[in-house]
Amino acid sequence: MSEQFPTISVAEAIRTKRAVRQFTDQPASEEAIRAVLNAGRRSQSSKNTQPWTFVAITERTTLEALSKTGGYTGHLAGAAFAVVIVAQPGYKFDVGQAAAYMQLAAWELGLGSCIASLHDEDAARAILGVPGELECYTAISFGYPAAPPAAPRPGGRRSFEEAVRWEQYSSDK
């Protein structure tokens, strides 16, 4: 049976999405996991190369092992599931696109998420059986937030005036 997904606009999802690193024990349904993976699969890439394979992980032991492969990757251990983006070398921008699409799609479903940079890529490769010629430096934890998501906070982002320039970077060319 199909789940009733709540809907929020893309603008609202972008405005309210925050990094979530603590999750409840509630598992994510296969339908929700597939919706997140489909968002990654459908994201844009340079020349439509689609240089990725998405490894979806729900096994707790694998999540715990991956949580030890980076300096700030502890949140993987408690995730309902994680996705590791395995990619051809040289496609970091594309990997970022897929990550953002998946995280926003997840947020629409009430699933929080956080990126985990796998600094010890060799260890991550060994855990997942990834060949040495492929990169796997980005994992994303997903799960239902343990606490209500923090409100968008003033000062949480550089102001519009600080972050944006119109027409030119510098006025003194």
Ligand X SMILES: Cc1cc2nc3c(=O)[nH]c(=O)nc-3n(C[C@H](O)[C@H](O)[C@H](O)COP(=O)(O)O)c2cc1C
CB of 147 to ligand X, least distance (A): 12
CB of 130 to ligand X, least distance (A): 18
Instruction: Tell me if 143 contacts ligand X by CB under 6 A.
Output: no
| Three-state DSSP class for residue 69 | coil
Q: What is the CA angle 140-144-149, rounded to 5?
A: 95
Instruction: Tell me if 72 contacts ligand X by CB under 6 A.
Output: yes
Q: How far apart are CA 141 and CA 22, in angstroms?
A: 9
Instruction: Tell me if 16 contacts ligand X by CB under 6 A.
Output: no
| Three-state DSSP class for residue 116 | strand
Q: How many CB atoms lie within 10 A of CB 52?
A: 23
Residue 79 CA to chain centroid, in angstroms? 12
Sign of CA dihedral 149, 102, 63, 73: negative
Residue 43's Cβ-count burial label (10 Å; 0-12, 13-18, 19+) is buried
What does the per-residue mask of binding to ligand X show for 19-58, with x meaning CB under 6 A? Answer: x-x-------------------------------------
Residue 124's Cβ-count burial label (10 Å; 0-12, 13-18, 19+) is buried
Instruction: Tell me if 154 contacts ligand X by CB under 6 A.
Output: no
Stretch that binds ligand X, among 15-23, 57-65, 121-129, 164-172 (CB under 6 A): 15-23
CB of 114 to ligand X, least distance (A): 5
What does the per-residue mask of binding to ligand X show for 109-128, with x meaning CB under 6 A? Answer: -----xxxx-----------
Instruction: Tell me if 156 contacts ligand X by CB under 6 A.
Output: yes
CB of 138 to ligand X, least distance (A): 7
Residue identified by tokens 């060949």 is 131
CB of 78 to ligand X, least distance (A): 12
List residues near ligand X by CB under 6 A.
18-19, 21, 70, 72-73, 75, 114-117, 156
